[in-house]
Amino acid sequence: MKVLVINAGSSSLKYQLMDPATREVFAKGLCERIGIDGRLTHKVPAKDAKYEFEIPMPTHSEAIQAVLNALVDKDNGVIGSMQEIDAVGHRIVQGGKYFDRSVLIDDDVVAKIDELAELAPLHNKAALMGIEACREQMPGKPMVAVFDTSFFQTIPPKAYMYPLPYELYEKHAIRKYGAHGTSHRYEWMMAKEILGSRCHRLLSCHLGNGASLAAIEDGVCRDTTMGLTPLDGLMMGTRCGSIDPATVCYLQREGGYSYQEVDDMMNKQSGLLAISGISNDARDIRTRASEGDERCLLAFDMFAYKAMQQAGSMIASMAGVDTITFTAGIGENSAELRELIFDGLAHMGMI
Ligand code: ADP
């Protein structure tokens, strides 16, 4: 069986063509810098081969198209035609009140994912573009939606409720849902596989263009940094993370900004991009910081400081920690940022 797994992030799209029974990966890759320019890195593990292409990717649609072309490419492809793909799995960030498990995608599921996009504006829309592009290219192919929010169903009410008027929870289901759940669940599974009984209280760190932390105790998620939407928590590539909520009212009342402008500002024009003034890409910022650019240095410092502070909060929610895992672009690749974050927690006995 061949399943195409698609993870459409805010500025990137990761994919694998794999056999879920044997875990064999036939091809995998990454579309990066979507909306900036566009780069596809396509790997075929069996041949130990890696192909890189510069392909304009103004949106996720062009990214999916490029992935499908690479899979069936007559020289470097791994399948003869789309018919060889048995099913497609899509990672969806926000399942809200509708989805507490993975589901087969139909028109109703698409409509609900779209409805929930207001809770995850950067992601559910990106995933929908991926779904629509796959439906066009592979009509009738079974597709499954896997929701990030389902992993956080174990978070207790004291952690997921907001101290707002109670009817907002009853009428509008306003509460913490979390995001990156599939990633945090996988971090737990891998830590357990590697460490066995030594892994008990895990601080799971997903640090990419989107970033979040999760406190996981014996496989049960106790708390996470993202909230009603993936805007909450850590400072991110273009998202502000936690700020004083009064800022939102103030900007509209005193600054003359519309609701839409404030929403765009916090989701698309904040974070590393806003502070560095040059890019949301940590690599670009690293290069300029090493040349002495003060705003890029500040962007790095802020990213690390806020992650360190919120790591402390996650650790407190488990009353301790014995294992820390890192994933996503920054978490996996930037030893420097990992060190900056955990320097601040050295007093807890972390090395
Ligand atoms: P998304 O949330 O869009 O899926 P990713 O997990 O792909 O994001 O992470 C993208 C981030 O990872 C970018 O800020 C990028 O600069 C950063 N990154 C990727 N490779 C490296 C590296 N070698 N060193 C530092 N940062 C990196």
What whole-number distance in Å separates Cα of residue 115 and Cα of residue 95?
10
Q: Which residue, among 271, 174, 154, 147, has the nearest Cα to 224 in the 3D structure? A: 154
Tokens of 195: 């460490």
Q: Which residue, among 207, 197, 192, has the nearest Cα to 330 in the 3D structure? A: 207
pTM: 0.81
Predicted local distance difference test score (pLDDT) of residue 173: 84
DSSP E strand stretches across 154-290 = 201-207, 211-217, 220-224
Q: Are 198 and 323 in contact (CB under 8 A)?
A: yes
Give catalytic residue positions: 148
Q: State the DSSP H helix or E strand holding residue 60, giving kind and residue range, or none if neither.
A: helix 60-72
What residue type is 104 in one-letter code? L
What whole-number distance in Å separates Cα of residue 57 and Cα of residue 91?
20
Q: Which residue, among 136, 125, 143, 123, has the nearest Cα to 183 in the 3D structure? A: 123
Of 330, 336, 337, 338, best ligand 1 pocket probe by most atoms within 8 Å of the beta carbon: 330
Closest protein CA for atom 20 of ligand 1: 329
Q: Which residue, among 40, 42, 2, 38, has the nearest Cα to 22 in the 3D structure? A: 2
What whole-number distance in Å separates Cα of residue 235 and Cα of residue 77?
38
Which residues are within 8 A (CB) of 37 and not within 5 positions of it... i.e. 6 or more apart? 54, 56, 57
Closest protein CA for atom 26 of ligand 1: 330
Per-residue pLDDT of the chain (351 residues; tens, 9 = 90+): 999 999 887 778 899 999 999 989 999 999 999 888 999 999 999 999 999 999 999 888 888 889 999 999 988 889 998 889 999 999 998 888 788 789 999 999 999 999 988 777 778 888 998 898 888 878 899 999 999 898 998 999 999 999 999 999 998 889 999 989 989 999 999 999 999 999 999 999 999 999 999 999 999 999 999 999 889 999 999 999 999 999 999 999 999 999 999 999 999 999 999 999 999 999 999 999 999 999 999 999 999 999 999 999 999 999 999 999 999 999 999 999 999 888 888 888 776
Q: Indicate which atom in ligand 1 lies nearest the CA of residue 285.
A: 16
What whole-number distance in Å separates Cα of residue 338 and Cα of residue 332?
9
Q: What are residue 154's phi and psi, to 5 degrees?
A: -85, -10
Q: Which residues line ligand 1 (CB under 6 A)?
A: 9-12, 208-210, 237, 281-283, 328-330, 333-334
Q: Which residue, among 133, 145, 141, has the nearest Cα to 62 in the 3D structure? A: 133
Q: Indicate which atom in ligand 1 lies nearest the CA of residue 327.
A: 6
Q: Which residue, among 85, 89, 88, 90, has the nearest Cα to 2 in the 3D structure? A: 85
Predicted local distance difference test score (pLDDT) of residue 73: 92
Which residues are within 8 A (CB) of 2 and not within 5 positions of it... i.e. 6 or more apart? 17, 18, 19, 26, 79, 84, 85, 86
**Residue 184 CA to ligand 1 centre (angstroms):** 17
Give all strands of the β-sheet with 87-92 in edge-to-edge order.
49-54, 39-44, 25-32, 13-18, 3-8, 87-92, 143-147, 103-104
DSSP E strand stretches across 38-189 = 39-44, 49-54, 87-92, 103-104, 143-147
Q: Which residue, among 249, 230, 250, 253, has the nearest Cα to 240 in the 3D structure? A: 230
**Residue 65 CA to ligand 1 centre (angstroms):** 22
What whole-number distance in Å separates Cα of residue 265 and Cα of residue 189?
36
